[in-house]
């Protein structure tokens, strides 16, 4: 619309009732957005509108919009003739299960959701409000990047978002929900937040799109092939959760929020638990084979330990040799880190170390106790791992655990060998309590490898090397790898009946609830990169 039309439509009557009617008309235009045609086009892509998404995310009737009537003041390239209300982003706050949550949602129907100066200012304001109020921030992303017509002003707007993402990090939970395209520098805001959700087929994230990739490298690839939900959930690790539709995705965002505190000064919500904390789990006696070389599914072990068997796994499809999940134990949220023997025998590698380190840091930032379940044969050997920096990546996990002040309990389920045993929250790096099952083996390495090193000359000089090797392996295992060796030296607090694990963990976490630990004064640490 032209500026003349703006002035005509915004002319207000002299009396109050007339002005209220005028306000209603203006608000109706703002709520309607660009019209039914644009809405139909959005729906045709399998996507909801910004307001429909907010309705699904928040409790019914709880949304309070901020700066609904904001319009840009840019000129040139035809912008002065097109000044829609909201400027392509809906901002405000509401509640999820009665707790305050701040939200902003790009409206792809307006300027393709592209960010301009007014658009960015609205986002800055709602981010500042979330930080000041100490409440989670959820961004519903569906935008075409910077508004080209506004030039450097749009780029500066992204800088303001990144600065606030960083300032809010570890202070309030930040969740990015990708519901459309996110390209170029815009992708760095989700990367700075705590969790990233994506919807298959309709959301993509990449720094340079397929056309640029083809021009520079000659490679041809689709948008989903380059930066779709499954790519980021399985290959890059950028995405923590991927779902088939927006409704399921937003329902899971609500569930995640129910597991998180409002801010770093609070604890996660406690719920009434009908699953007795003292419940025995005799199935655990059969789930984990005594033979250290036989695989099993760690998910089944976790399901036996937590309330009602419910876990919310983070990065379920990436670095699957380690499991990171949120769950409840006796109604209270706990973070679970566990090796997964079904994948690469549960070894630690570059990606697993990064995944677990970030999860531990998140739990520590938001006062979530950490329970670590060990069944780890060591770090993955290989030239690719060494050249890829397994030393510094593994150190990230070590740093995260050593720096964490929340209650920390480790449980050695079966084997725990070498440096991986130390890194996975051993007592020597600060675990508050360490338990082990009678199936545990804690050692520098497996008995076979250790015997081959220690007794290599005896084995080589024997008339029957294989028989001597077998005898010495058994001797090493009996002397240094029996279940009580670590307990006798105080490195394990107790060896427990697997069936009683849930009760032991619940009692231990209850005791540690009042734990307080002070770190040395510093601006911040310098973690390995």
- Token pair 């380690």 is found at 322
DSSP states along 126-172 = HHHHHHHHT--EEEEE---SB-GGGTHHHHHHHHHHHHHHHHHTTTS
Return the SS3 of 99. strand
CA dihedral 122, 125, 126, 132 (to 10 degrees): 180
d(CA 371, CA 334): 7
Contact partners, residue 400, CB within 8 Å, separation at least 6: 356, 357, 358, 360, 361, 364, 527
d(CA 238, CA 203): 13
Annotated catalytic residue 225: no
Q: Please, what sign has the CA dihedral across residues 114, 120, 122, 128? A: positive
d(CA 35, CA 436): 63
Q: Of residues 184, 209, 237, 331, which has the active-site annotation?
A: 184
Q: Tokens in use for 376? A: 């780890």
Annotated catalytic residue 46: no
d(CA 474, CA 258): 50
- Token pair 């060990």 is found at 374
Q: Of residues 420, 431, 443, 450, which has the active-site annotation?
A: 420
Parallel, antiparallel or unpaired: strands 241-243 and 195-199: parallel
- Token pair 């939970």 is found at 173
Bridge partner list, 23? none
Q: Of residues 151, 160, 185, 449, which has the active-site annotation?
A: 185
Q: Of residues 419, 449, 462, 470, which has the active-site annotation?
A: 419
d(CA 280, CA 528): 41
d(CA 495, CA 435): 6
Annotated catalytic residue 184: yes
Q: Tokens in use for 349? A: 């590698």
d(CA 432, CA 408): 5
Q: Are 97 and 56 a contacting pair, CB within 8 Å? A: no
Element (H, E) at 413: strand 408-417
How many Cβ atoms from other residues are within 10 Å of residue 307's Cβ? 22
Element (H, E) at 205: strand 204-206
Annotated catalytic residue 28: no
Q: Are 230 and 184 a contacting pair, CB within 8 Å? A: no
Q: Which residues of 158-179 are buried (b: 16+ CB within 10 A; e: fewer)?
A: beebeebbeebbbebbbbbbbb
**How far does Cα 126 stand from its chain's mean position?**
22
- Start-to-end CA distance of the chain, whole Å, equals 51
Among 277, 359, 352, which Cα is nearest to 325's?
359
d(CA 382, CA 372): 26
How many Cβ atoms from other residues are within 10 Å of residue 526's Cβ? 8
Residues identified as active-site:
184-185, 419-420
């Amino acid at each position: 619309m032209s500026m003349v039309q703006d002035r005509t439509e915004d002319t207000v009557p002299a009396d109050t009732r007339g002005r209220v009617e005028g306000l209603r008309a203006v608000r109706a235009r703002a709520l309607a957005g660009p019209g039914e045609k644009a809405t139909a086009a959005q729906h045709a892509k399998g996507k909801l509108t910004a307001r429909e998404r907010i309705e699904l995310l928040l409790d019914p009737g709880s949304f309070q919009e901020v700066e609904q009537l904001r319009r840009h003041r840019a000129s040139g390239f035809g912008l002065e003739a097109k000044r829609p209300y909201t400027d392509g982003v809906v901002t405000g706050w509401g509640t999820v299960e009665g707790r305050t949550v701040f939200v902003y949602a790009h409206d792809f129907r307006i300027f393709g959701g592209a960010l301009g100066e007014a658009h960015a200012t609205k986002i800055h304001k709602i981010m500042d409000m979330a930080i000041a109020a100490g409440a989670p921030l959820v961004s519903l992303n569906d935008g075409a990047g910077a508004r080209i017509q506004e030039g450097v002003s749009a780029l500066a707007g992204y800088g303001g978002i990144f600065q606030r993402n960083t300032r809010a990090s570890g202070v309030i939970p930040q969740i990015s929900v990708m519901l459309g395209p996110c390209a170029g520098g815009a992708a760095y805001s989700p990367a700075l937040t705590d969790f990233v959700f994506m919807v298959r087929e309709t959301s993509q994230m990449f720094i340079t799109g397929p056309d640029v990739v083809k021009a520079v490298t000659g490679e041809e690839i689709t948008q989903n092939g380059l930066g779709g939900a499954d790519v980021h959930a399985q290959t890059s690790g950028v995405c923590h959760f991927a779902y088939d539709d927006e409704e399921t995705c937003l329902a899971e965002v609500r569930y995640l929020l129910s597991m998180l505190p409002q801010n770093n000064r609070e604890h996660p919500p406690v719920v009434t638990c009908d699953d007795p904390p003292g419940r025995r789990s005799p199935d655990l006696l059969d789930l984990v084979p005594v033979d250290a070389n036989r695989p099993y599914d760690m998910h089944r072990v976790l399901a036996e330990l937590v309330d009602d068997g419910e876990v919310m796994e983070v990065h379920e499809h990436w670095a699957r040799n380690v499991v990171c999940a949120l769950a409840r134990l006796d109604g209270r949220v706990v973070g679970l880190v566990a090796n997964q023997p079904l994948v690469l025998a549960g070894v630690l590698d570059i990606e697993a170390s990064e995944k677990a380190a970030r999860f531990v840091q998140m739990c520590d930032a938001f006062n979530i106790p950490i329970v670590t379940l060990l069944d780890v044969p060591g770090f993955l050997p290989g030239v690719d791992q060494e050249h890829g920096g397994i030393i510094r990546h593994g150190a990230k996990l070590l740093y995260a655990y050593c720096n964490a002040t929340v209650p920390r309990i480790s449980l050695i389920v079966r084997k725990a060998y070498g440096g991986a045993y130390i890194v996975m929250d051993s007592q020597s790096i600060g675990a508050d309590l360490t338990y082990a099952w009678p199936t545990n083996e804690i050692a520098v390495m497996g008995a076979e490898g250790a015997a081959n090193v220690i007794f290599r000359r005896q084995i080589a000089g024997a008339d029957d090397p294989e028989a001597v090797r077998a005898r010495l392996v058994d001797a090493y295992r009996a002397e240094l790898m029996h279940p009580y060796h670590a307990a006798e030296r105080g490195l394990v607090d107790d060896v427990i009946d697997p069936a009683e694990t849930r009760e032991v963990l619940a009692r231990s976490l209850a005791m540690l609830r009042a734990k307080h630990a002070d770190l040395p004064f510093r601006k911040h640490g310098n973690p390995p990169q």
